């Protein structure tokens, strides 16, 4: 940029040669000349350069007077105007200028905005004259004058612009703007003004206002610009603004009251900008009334607005991820989820001192209702998932959702789909001290359809870890499709080529060293003999759970795995299952332990035996399902005791149909309880005969041994039941003449009863009972009594039944406490009864199972050590909480 001091103030050119530097007098002289010339733009400064010639001409008096006279003449000419003569007027050239706008036409432009044509028809002039009469404006008068002067446009080779022709024919339009500044264009003084852009559409404006009202009423939702466009189309029947125009109109309508931003992955989300200060300002500046009720309502509305504003501003309001199980079970997290103002409000309402759970529950319900599309409340989704897990009822979940206590059924299904996809086949937290076990069995879905179609029968799998592990990463909330689930849950199907698959060469070795000692057998004896003295004692299972407080690995975790849509008994399906579990266990750094029921275990054993060179299959530890083993043994008891009267005894408590299932080993829980009831009665009879005490029979004046068969009405006995003799035939009296007394029990029994009271009160530990000599003495006496009674066939049968129930009791104890040696020993004791009842396949499978498990210490030492340490599946964090892997 040039230096102002080096620029001439008169001509504004640089002063490089022939210049003077102005002083105070020189500046005053030039300013005075500038005022005389009536030109105040020349304002020099001291030290500024000026051309010598410019200064001389500008300050010369004669030049000043001459310039002033010329200015006066120009002013007069402008005010009066020059006289117009015909010779001075310009003659219009129709052949080269558009008669609509007056500018020159380029006929070479055949396309675009400057496209022009010559007049080819006589009718064009007539049509233009009619349009001039319709327009009746200044432009129409000019064009009409041109046409009357030319008389025949076709003969004059007149030309015109297409754009000018269209504008002229359209009423309300003027000469195109592109031609206004060109030479020769008509100067219209009253040209119709045209606003920039589209004319306002009143109908769309009304629909837009309706859409804006919808936005105001649904501010609690995350509404995007696109959703507002769709809502406007719904209101107008298909007509609406574009996304860009809707955004501009919203900013014009609400100005700084709204914010349009990207929130939680959603673009162009519209939210209102409200603050506590503005809410309080509106409340205090609202007009006051003398009506206390209206003032109270205004105060309540202001409080509600403040709470809702804090809910909207809370950082925890997110639906991008689901809360973790730790968050849902944490009372502190659930309480922190509720804003402080809402917590205070609810604490003032609730009268309880410790109402944190209710505050968290009701508060989260309010937060969820205030922001239904933004928030995933932990307790809401947790309750919905729990109800779906326990009941599977869509109706129940939707009713709870309608009342505001639970998430919707759709949200629960979405959570489960995301959980399945995010988890896939990963097992979190696998380490050296954690044993990973897989379980595979038949799975059926919709098997009771009307026509038999659309049902599923395949291979289902789960994985368990002991101690339990939990997923630490939250589950993302995504739109999961069936394709996504299919990709995550696909298992490679590997065809199994069977070549003479059979067990002809299988060697059944002798099973040795399987006699394990039950560490708490004295507790079982104490529980049996104490009933005549303590009739109100707990059940066997309740007693065991109460007194077993030993250390244990902890609660297990269960993870669901994909299913195989094939017949589970197919060798290819079993082969694919074996390879899948081997691959997954290897990926998690664990030895594959896979549990099957008997038919699948048999075939899996075939596959492994016929592929000795397959390293993946050779590394698998195959286990036999304990729950199905228990069912089979219960069926053995029912089969061996068939016709003994056991069914009739059970029917005194259970329905006949239920008893049939119990004796078949189907209704497991009822069967176990029923057998324990009968066994308790038999042990009471045995104790009564051994220690010469009477049994406590309420409302009866006689003891059970005094009732003879002749005194029983024959109508009370079914026809197919043959009864011979008295109850003494089952438990004969060792001394017929010995008196029966319950006032003076045996000394061992009295000490046992006292020990029972101390044990149940917690005064003595379980270990003291297990080594007590009194219980050992009682056990010895009972065994001697059994040996004495075995000479009687009926008594021998029922003593065998008691032995089978004892085996069942030991099996359950081994499963509940995770006693591996006791488990193997009990399974070995089951085998003779399995064979006697005709369960031959189970007998052979049990032999193979025990044969493999006895070699576990040499083949898979890590698995053996885990089983010895009690790393079995546990349902809860208790010692007496073990389960069979298939239960």
Q: Are 365 and 308 in contact (CB under 8 A)?
A: no
Q: What is the mean pLDDT of residues 779-783?
A: 91
Please give the pLDDT value at position 593.
93
Please give the pLDDT value at position 714.
37
Residues in contact with 15: Cβ distance below 8 Å, sequence separation at least 6, in sequence order? 6, 7, 8, 49, 50, 51
Share of the chain above pLDDT 90, in %: 24
Q: What is the mean pLDDT of residues 850-878?
A: 89
Q: Where are the alpha helices (DSSP H) in 108-201?
A: 123-135, 138-150, 162-169
The DSSP code for 116 is: E
- Lowest-confidence pick of 479-493, 631-645, 663-677: 479-493
Per-residue pLDDT tens for 367-414? 988 888 788 899 999 999 999 989 989 999 999 999 999 999 999 999
Distances (CA, A) of 290 to 239, 293, 764: 48, 9, 76
The residue that leads in pLDDT, 217 or 859, is 859
- The listed range with the strongest mean pLDDT (65-79, 219-233, 484-498, 805-819) is 805-819
pTM of the model: 0.64
Please give the pLDDT value at position 454.
74
Q: What is the mean pLDDT of residues 195-203?
A: 62
Per-residue pLDDT tens for 585-598? 988 889 999 999 99
Please give the pLDDT value at position 181.
72
- Cα gap 437→465, rounded to integer Å: 7
Give the angle subtended at the CA of 446 by the CAs of 445 and 448, to the nearest 5°.
130
Please give the pLDDT value at position 629.
93
Structure tokens at 3: 């230096």
Share of the chain above pLDDT 70, in %: 86
Which pLDDT band, with edges at 50, 70 and 90, does 502 fall under?
Answer: low
Q: What is the mean pLDDT of residues 743-763?
A: 82
Q: What is the mean pLDDT of residues 262-291?
A: 71
The DSSP code for 322 is: P
Which pLDDT band, with edges at 50, 70 and 90, does 709 fall under?
Answer: very low
Structure tokens at 636: 């053995």
* Per-residue pLDDT at 838 exceeds 90: yes
Q: What is the mean pLDDT of residues 661-684?
A: 93
Q: Is the peptide bond before 467 cis (omega within 30 degrees of 0)?
A: yes
- The listed range with the strongest mean pLDDT (82-86, 104-108, 232-236, 415-419) is 415-419
Q: Are 544 and 527 in contact (CB under 8 A)?
A: no
Element (H, E) at 883: strand 882-883
Which pLDDT band, with edges at 50, 70 and 90, does 486 fall under?
Answer: confident
- Cα gap 568→457, rounded to integer Å: 8
Sign of CA dihedral 330, 336, 342, 346: positive
Please give the pLDDT value at position 700.
43
Please give the pLDDT value at position 850.
93
Burial of 655 (0-12, 13-18, 19+ CB in 10 A): exposed
Sign of CA dihedral 224, 225, 230, 236: positive
- Lowest-confidence pick of 149-163, 253-267, 324-338, 644-658: 253-267
Average pLDDT, the chain: 82
Q: Are 648 and 545 in contact (CB under 8 A)?
A: no
Per-residue pLDDT tens for 511-531? 877 788 888 899 999 999 888
* Per-residue pLDDT at 728 exceeds 70: no
The DSSP code for 318 is: -
Q: Are 434 and 467 in contact (CB under 8 A)?
A: yes
Please give the pLDDT value at position 722.
42
Q: What is the mean pLDDT of residues 785-802?
A: 92
Burial of 341 (0-12, 13-18, 19+ CB in 10 A): middle
Please give the pLDDT value at position 203.
76
Give a three-class secondary structure readout of 502-520.
CCCCCCCCCCCCCCCCCCC
* Per-residue pLDDT at 698 exceeds 70: no
Domain extents in the chain? 4-72, 90-191, 208-422, 523-551+621-709+723-883
Q: Are 782 and 525 in contact (CB under 8 A)?
A: yes
- Lowest-confidence pick of 146-160, 555-569, 863-877: 146-160
**Beta-carbon-side half-sphere exposure of residue 156 (alpha carbons within 13 Å):** 20
b/e burial code for range 786-807 (CB count within 10 A of at least 16 → b): beebeebebbebbbebbebbbb
Q: What is the mean pLDDT of residues 125-130?
A: 87
- DSSP codes of every residue in 221-277: S-EEHHHHHHHHHHHHTS----HHHHHHHHHHHHGGGEEEEEETTEEEEEEE---HH
Which pLDDT band, with edges at 50, 70 and 90, does 425 fall under?
Answer: confident
């Amino acid at each position: 940029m040039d230096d102002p001091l080096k620029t001439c103030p008169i001509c504004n050119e640089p002063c490089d040669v022939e210049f003077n530097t102005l002083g105070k007098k020189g500046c005053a002289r030039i300013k005075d000349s500038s005022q005389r010339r009536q030109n105040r733009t020349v304002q020099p400064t001291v030290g500024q350069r000026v051309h010598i010639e410019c200064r001389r001409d500008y300050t010369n008096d004669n030049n000043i007077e001459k310039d002033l006279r010329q200015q006066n003449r120009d002013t007069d000419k402008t005010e009066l105007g020059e006289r117009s003569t015909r010779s001075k007027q310009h003659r219009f050239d129709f052949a080269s200028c558009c008669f609509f706008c007056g500018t020159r036409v380029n006929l070479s432009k055949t396309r675009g905005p400057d496209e022009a044509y010559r007049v080819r028809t006589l009718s064009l002039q007539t049509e233009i004259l009619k349009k001039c009469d319709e327009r009746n404006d200044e432009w129409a008068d000019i064009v009409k004058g041109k046409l009357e002067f030319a008389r025949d446009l076709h003969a004059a080779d007149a030309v015109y612009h297409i754009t000018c022709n269209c504008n002229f024919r359209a009423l309300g339009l003027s000469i195109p703007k592109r031609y206004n500044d060109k030479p020769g264009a008509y100067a219209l003084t009253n040209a119709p003004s045209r606003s920039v852009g589209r004319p306002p559409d009143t109908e769309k404006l009304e629909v837009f206002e309706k859409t804006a009202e919808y936005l105001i009423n649904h501010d609690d939702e995350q509404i995007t610009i696109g959703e507002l466009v769709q809502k406007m189309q719904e209101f107008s029947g298909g007509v609406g603004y574009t996304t860009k125009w809707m955004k501009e109109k919203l900013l014009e309508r609400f100005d700084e009251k709204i914010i349009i931003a990207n929130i939680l992955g959603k673009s162009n989300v519209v939210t209102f900008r409200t603050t506590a200060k503005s809410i309080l300002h509106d409340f205090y500046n609202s007009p006051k009334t003398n009506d206390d009720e209206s003032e109270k309502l205004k105060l309540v509305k202001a409080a509600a607005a403040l709470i809702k504003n804090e809910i909207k501003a809370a950082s925890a309001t997110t639906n991008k991820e689901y809360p973790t199980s730790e968050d849902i079970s944490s009372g502190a997290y659930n309480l922190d989820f509720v804003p402080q103002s809402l917590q205070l409000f609810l604490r003032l309402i609730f009268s309880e001192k410790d109402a944190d759970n209710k505050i968290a529950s009701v508060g989260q319900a309010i937060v969820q209702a205030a922001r239904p599309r933004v928030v995933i409340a932990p307790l809401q989704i947790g309750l919905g998932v729990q109800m779906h897990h326990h009941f599977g009822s869509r109706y129940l979940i939707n009713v709870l959702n309608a009342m505001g206590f639970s998430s919707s059924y759709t949200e629960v299904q979405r959570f489960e789909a995301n959980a399945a996809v995010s988890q896939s086949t990963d097992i979190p937290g696998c380490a050296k001290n954690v044993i990973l076990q897989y379980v595979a069995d038949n799975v059926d879905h919709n098997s009771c359809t009307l026509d038999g179609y659309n049902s599923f029968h395949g291979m289902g799998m789960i994985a368990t870890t002991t101690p339990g592990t939990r997923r630490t990463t939250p589950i993302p909330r995504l739109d999961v499709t069936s394709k996504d689930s299919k990709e995550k849950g696909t298992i490679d199907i590997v065809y199994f080529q069977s070549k003479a698959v059979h067990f002809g060469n299988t060697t059944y070795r002798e099973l040795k060293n399987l006699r394990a000692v039950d560490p708490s057998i004295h507790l079982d004896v104490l529980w049996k003999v104490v009933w005549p003295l303590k009739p109100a004692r707990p059940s066997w299972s309740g007693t065991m759970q109460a007194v077993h407080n030993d250390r244990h690995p902890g609660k297990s975790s269960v993870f669901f795995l994909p299913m195989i849509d094939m017949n589970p008994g197919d060798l290819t399906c079993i082969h694919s299952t074996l390879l899948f579990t081997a691959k997954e266990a290897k990926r998690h750094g664990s030895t594959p332990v896979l549990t099957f029921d008997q038919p699948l275990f048999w075939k899996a054993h075939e596959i492994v035996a016929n592929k000795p060179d397959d390293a993946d299959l050779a590394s698998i530890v195959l286990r036999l399902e304990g729950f199905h083993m228990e069912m089979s043994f219960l069926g053995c008891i029912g089969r061996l005791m068939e016709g003994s009267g056991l069914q009739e005894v059970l029917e005194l408590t259970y329905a006949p149909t239920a008893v049939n299932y119990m004796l078949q080993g189907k209704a497991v829980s009822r069967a176990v309880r029923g057998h324990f009831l009968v066994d308790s009665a038999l042990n009471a009879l045995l104790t009564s005969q051994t220690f010469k005490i009477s049994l406590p029979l309420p409302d009866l004046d006689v003891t059970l041994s005094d009732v003879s068969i002749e005194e029983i009405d024959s109508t009370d006995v079914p026809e197919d039941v043959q009864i011979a003799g008295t109850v003494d035939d089952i438990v004969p009296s060792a001394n017929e003449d010995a008196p029966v007394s319950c006032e003076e029990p045996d000394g061992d029994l009295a000490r046992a009863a006292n020990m029972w009271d101390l044990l149940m009160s917690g005064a003595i530990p379980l270990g003291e009972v297990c080594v007590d000599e009194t219980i050992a003495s009682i056990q010895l006496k009972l065994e001697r009594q059994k040996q004495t009674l075995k000479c009687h066939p009926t008594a021998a049968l029922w003593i065998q039944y008691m032995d089978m129930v004892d085996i069942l009791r030991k099996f359950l104890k081994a499963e509940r406490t995770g006693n591996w040696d006791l488990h193997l020993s009990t399974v070995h004791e089951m085998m003779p009864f399995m064979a006697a009842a005709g369960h031959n396949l189970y007998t052979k499978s049990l032999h193979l199972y025990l044969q493999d498990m006895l070699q576990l210490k040499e083949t898979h030492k890590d698995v053996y050590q885990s089983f010895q340490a009690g790393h079995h599946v546990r349902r809860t964090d208790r010692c007496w909480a073990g389960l069979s892997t298939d239960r």
